């Protein structure tokens, strides 16, 4: 099973804090509008089926639901799923939340999705390459996959670990491990090896001092000819 139980437990213990915009998940709340706007600018979401892999407490799932998508959210951490269900019900949002991994879902269901999102998850699993392949296999033909993870470079180590976890205490210590960060070139290889086309790569920077974030073009990436028509777009943090 492609999950790290320590990572699952880490986020299960933080479940009650998912919707605290000033708490441990503040960075996600700051970058979430950017993520949602980026996705909706690339794909018409109205009426599309969308699977959010590693949905946590539902921050992204709700934002994409509000843009018209028919959303299913899955996560291996049960407490987070319960928080997501409660928050959606309280706000009258119809979202199908399930405690599941992507690998389990593909084995128990034949459903495919117009759009799959997997944001800020790859750096928390033992085999990110397998997760990318599974996400692609959950797409309908001509579907779109959106991935986001932390770039493996010195800047990310300084901002995401030293700054965010130890200096400014924005994130709990141990949230990230530098060895699990992923270079865009590696992620591009995972996508191509799974017979999908890499459409676009964008950079995202979160400033732990000002708590502001922006998308940028500092990561420019060109893919070879696709082997099928499933597509992937990667807003890559830092």
Provide the CATH number for the domain around residue 95.
3.40.50.150
| pLDDT tier for residue 99 given thresholds of 50, 70 and 90 | very high
Q: What pLDDT does residue 233 have?
A: 58
Q: How many domains does the chain have?
A: 1
Mean pLDDT of 222-226: 29
Average pLDDT along the chain:
86
Say what the pLDDT of residue 9 is: 87
Closest CA to 19 of 76, 79, 83: 83
Q: 226 falls in which pLDDT band (50, 70, 90)? A: very low
Sheet with 96-99, strands from edge to edge, namely 96-99, 70-75, 49-53, 113-119, 139-148, 231-237, 197-207, 212-216
Please, which pLDDT band fits residue 11 given cuts at 50, 70 and 90?
Answer: confident
Q: Is the pLDDT of residue 220 over 50?
A: no
Low-confidence winner among 5-14, 47-56, 94-103 (lowest mean pLDDT): 5-14
Give residue 225's pLDDT. 28
Distance CA(84)–CA(90), nearest Å, equals 10
Q: What is the pLDDT of residue 173?
A: 78
The percent of residues in the chain predicted with pLDDT above 70, rounded, is: 86
**How confident is the model over 109-155, as pLDDT tens digits?**
999 999 999 999 999 899 999 999 999 999 999 999 999 988 877 77
Q: pTM of the prediction?
A: 0.85
- For 71-98, what is the mean pLDDT? 96
Taking residues 18-42, what's their average pLDDT?
A: 93
Could you tell me the pLDDT band of residue 6, with boundaries at 50, 70 and 90?
confident
> Treating both helix axes as pointing N-terminal to C-terminal, what angle do 184-193 and 128-137 enclose, rounded to 10 degrees?
50
State the pLDDT at residue 207: 82
Q: In which domain, by residue range, is 89 found?
A: 5-237
183/94: higher pLDDT? 94
**How much of the chain is in helix, strand and coil states, percent to nearest 5?**
40, 25, 35
Please list the residues that pair with 139 across neighbouring strands: 113
Pick the closest to residue 11 from 21, 25, 32, 30 (CA basis).
Answer: 25
Q: What is the CA radius of gyration of the chain?
A: 16
Nearest-angstrom CA–CA distance, 60 and 34 = 10
């Amino acid at each position: 099973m492609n999950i790290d139980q320590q990572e699952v437990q880490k986020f299960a213990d933080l479940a009650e804090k998912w919707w605290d915009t000033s708490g441990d998940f503040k960075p996600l709340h700051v970058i979430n509008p950017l993520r949602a706007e980026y996705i909706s600018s690339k794909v018409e979401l109205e009426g599309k089926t969308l699977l959010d892999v590693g949905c946590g407490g539902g921050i992204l799932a709700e934002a994409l639901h509000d843009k018209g998508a028919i959303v299913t959210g899955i996560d291996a951490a049960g407490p987070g799923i319960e928080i997501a269900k409660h928050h959606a019900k309280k706000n009258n949002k119809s979202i199908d939340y399930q405690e599941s991994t992507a690998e389990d879902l593909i084995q128990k269901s034949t459903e495919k999705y117009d759009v799959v999102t997997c944001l800020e998850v790859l750096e928390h699993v033992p085999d990110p390459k397998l997760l990318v392949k599974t996400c692609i296999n959950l797409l309908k033909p001509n579907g779109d996959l959106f991935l986001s993870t932390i770039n493996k470079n010195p800047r990310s180590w300084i901002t995401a670990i030293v700054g965010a976890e130890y200096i400014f205490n924005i994130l709990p210590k141990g949230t990230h491990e530098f060895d699990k960060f992923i270079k865009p070139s590696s992620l591009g290889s995972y996508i191509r090896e799974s017979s999908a086309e890499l459409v676009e790569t964008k950079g995202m920077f979160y400033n732990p001092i000002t708590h502001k974030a922006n998308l940028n073009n500092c990561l420019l990436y060109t893919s070879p000819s696709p082997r099928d028509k499933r597509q992937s777009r990667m807003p890559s943090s830092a």
